[in-house]
Chain A
Amino acid sequence: MSTDTIDESRSPAPGPVRSSSGDPILVATDVHRSFGGLRAVSVDHLEVERGSIVALIGPNGAGKTTFFNVLTGFEKADGGTWRFEDHDLSGKPAYYIARAGMVRTFQSARVFPRLSVLDNVRLGAQNQAGERFTKALMKWSWRDQEAELAERARELVEWVGLGPKAEDFAGILSGGQRKLLELARAVMAAPRLLMLDEPMAGVNPALRQALLEKISELPGEGITVLFVEHDMDVVSAAADRVVCMAEGQIIASGTPSEVAANEHVIEAYLGASSGDLRDTRTGADSSDGEL
C-alpha cells in the first residue's frame, strides 16, 4: 500500500532527482541497504548539483542517516553505485571517501574530547606530512605545513565563534558548541561535498541562526552541502533544493516550497509525524480514561 503511494508520487513530482545544470557533484544510482527484512534504504537515483545546498528531509526512520552512512562508507551497501566527481566511491572505505573530498559530520557530534578545540580542527586537514610515522620525528619536514594549518585552524575556530575556547579541551564544550566544532573540523578538511547529519540537532535557537548562516556561506567557498534536517523552517531558509525520503525511498524533490506543497510529502513526512504526535497524545489520554 505504501509502495503504491510512492510509485504514484513519481509521476507528478520530479521523481528521480536530476540537477538542472547538468553538473552533478554526486550521482547515486540504485543504492540499497536492508537490515533483516527491513529495506532501510532503497534510493533509485539521486544527484546533487555542484555549488548547491541540498536538504534531505523525511520522517524518523526514513533511512536518511543510513543513506548517509552508506554513501560515506560507514555502512556497507547491499548494492548500488555512487560517483563523486570522477571517483567511483561505491563500497570504498570511509577514510578513502573522505580523502576523495566527501566529508561528513555525525548526528550526535563526535569531537575528540581530550584534545584541544584547536587540535580537533587541525586534525581535519588532509595530506599532513607529519601524520606519517616515517616523518613524525623529522620536524623540519612538517614544521612549515603545521604553521600554515595552525593559522587556518585558528581562522575556522574564530569563524564558528569558538575563539575564546580554542585552547580548551573539546570535552568541556556544550552539545551545540560541539556541533560548531565538528563543522569547523569538517571544513578544515577542505571538502568539495560536505554532508551534515542534522547540523541543528541539540543546538539552541540563538546558535541555530549563526550555524545556518555559516552553512549558507559554504557554497561560496566551493563547498557543496547535503544536509539532513527535520525542521522545515531551517530547510526553507538554507536549502536550494529539498529531497524527501520516506521508508527508504526518495518520494519527492524540488525547491523547498515545491516539496512543502507536495501532498505525498505532507502525507508521508508532516502528516506521519504530526499523526504520530496525535496518536501518542490521544493514546495517553485514552489510556488515562481507561484507567
Chain B
Amino acid sequence: MFALSLGSALIDGLRDSIAVVACVSALAGIGLNVQFGFAGLLNFGHIGSALVGAYGAAIVVNQGGPLWVGVIVGVVAAGVLGLLMGLPTLRLRADYLAIATISVAEILRVLANSARLQSVTGGPIGISNVADDFYSINPIPDGRYGWGSFSYNHNTLWAMLVGWSLVALASLFVWGLAHSPWGRLLKAVREDEEATRSLGKNVFAMKLQAFIAGSVIGGIAGIIFTFDGGFVKPDFFIAQTTFNWYLVVILGGAATIIGPTVGAIVYWFVISVFNSLLSQAIGRDGWWFISSTDVGAVRYVLVGVSIALLLVFRPEGLFGNKEEAVIGEH
C-alpha cells in the first residue's frame, strides 16, 4: 500500500522537476547566482526583476504589441531595474544592500497591485490572455507527446522546450563569463573590495554589471513564467520567492555553473514528493492536527528540515567546492 503511494509520489516529483516551474526557478537562480554567488552581492529583491520582465512583456502584448517587442521590453526593463538596484551598492553592502533591494521589489509589487495603475497593470487582477502569440508560433504539431505520466500536449511541450533551452543558454552565458578574466575580477570583488580597488579595478562598475546581468536573466525567468501560465498578477511576485531562489542557488552550490539548475530540479522534486506523500497519507479527513488544506504549508516545513540537514552535512551545496566553502567561513 505504502510502496504504491511512494511510486506515484516519485512520479509527481519527476514531473515537477522537469516542468516549466522548475526551469523558471533555474533561470532565476542562474541570475541570482551571478549577483550572489560570483559577486557576493546580497540581492533580496530578485523577484523584482522577474516582475518587471513579466509585466513588461505582458503589458506590451496586452496593448496589442508584437511578441518580440514584448520580450525585448521585458528584458530591457529588467536590465534597467538591475542598474537601479545596483546603484546603492556604491554605498551599501551586505545586509544594508539586502534591505534596500527587498524594498525595491516590494514597492514594485505594491505598484503593480495598485488600483491607480489598473488600466496598465490590471491592478490586483493582473493581465490575462497574454500567451496567445507565444503559442501561435509553436512549431510543434498539435497532439500529445510522451509516455504515461510524462505525457504533454504540444503547448506545454513548447513552453518546456523554450524554457529549458533558455536555461541552457543562460548557463552557457554564465560559464563563459565565469571563465573569463571578467569572472575572475568579479570573484575578486566578492572576496575583497578594497584589495580589488588597490589594483586599479573599478569595483562599482563591476557590481553594476553583475547586477544588470543577473537581473536580465531574472527578467527572462519572469517572461517565461508569464507565457507559460498566460497571465500575470501581483501575488506571484511576493518577497518569499526570492528566498526560494536563494535556496535553489545554495542547494545546488553557489558560484557554480550547473548549481542553480540542479538546485531548481531538486527543489521542485522534493517539494512535489512531499506534497504527494502528505496528501496521500492524510487523505481527505486529515491526520492528527493536519487537515488536507494544510498540506501545502506542511510540505515547506519538511523541505526546510531536509535542506537544513543538507547544509549541515554538505554546506557547499550539491555541486560546490568543499575546500572553497571551508575557506569562506574564515
Chain A interface (Cβ < 8 Å from any Cβ of B): 72-74, 93-96, 98-99, 103-106, 110-115, 119, 122-124, 126, 128-133, 135-137, 139, 142, 146, 169, 171-172, 185-186, 189
Contacts and interface: CB of A to CB of B under 8 A. Distances in A.
18 contacts: A94-B194, A96-B200, A98-B198, A99-B200, A110-B192, A112-B192, A112-B195, A113-B191, A115-B184, A115-B191, A123-B184, A123-B188, A126-B200, A128-B185, A130-B181, A130-B182, A136-B183, A171-B330
B137 interface: no
Contact of B323 (A103, A106, A110, A169): A169
B197 interface: yes
A171 B326 CA distance: 10
B146 interface: no
B42 to A, nearest CB: 17
Contacts of A114: 187, 190-191, 324, 327-328
B69 interface: no
A95 B193 CA distance: 11
Contacts of A130: 180-182
Contacts of A94: 194, 197-198
A229 B303 CA distance: 55
B199 A123 contact: yes
Nearest to A168: B323
Nearest to B194: A110
A286 B258 CA distance: 66
A119 B328 contact: no
B198 A103 contact: yes
A189 to B, nearest CB: 6
Given A96-B200, A113-B330, A139-B176, 8 more contacts: A95-B199, A95-B200, A98-B198, A111-B192, A114-B191, A130-B180, A131-B201, A169-B327
Contacts of B243: none
B192 A137 contact: no
Contacts of B187: 112, 114-115
B324 A137 contact: no
Chain B, interface size: which category? 20 to 34
B280 interface: no
- The 3 A-B pairs of least Cβ separation, nearest first, read A130-B181, A98-B200, A171-B327
Nearest to B40: A114
A169 B181 contact: no
B281 interface: no
Contacts of A169: 323-324, 327
A156 to B, nearest CB: 13
A137 B176 contact: yes
A86 to B, nearest CB: 18
B188 A74 contact: no
Nearest to A112: B191
Interface in B171-228: 173, 176-177, 180-185, 187-188, 190-192, 194-203, 209, 213
A103 B199 contact: yes
A115 B194 contact: no
Most buried by A among B196, B201, B203, B209: B201
A115 B185 CA distance: 10
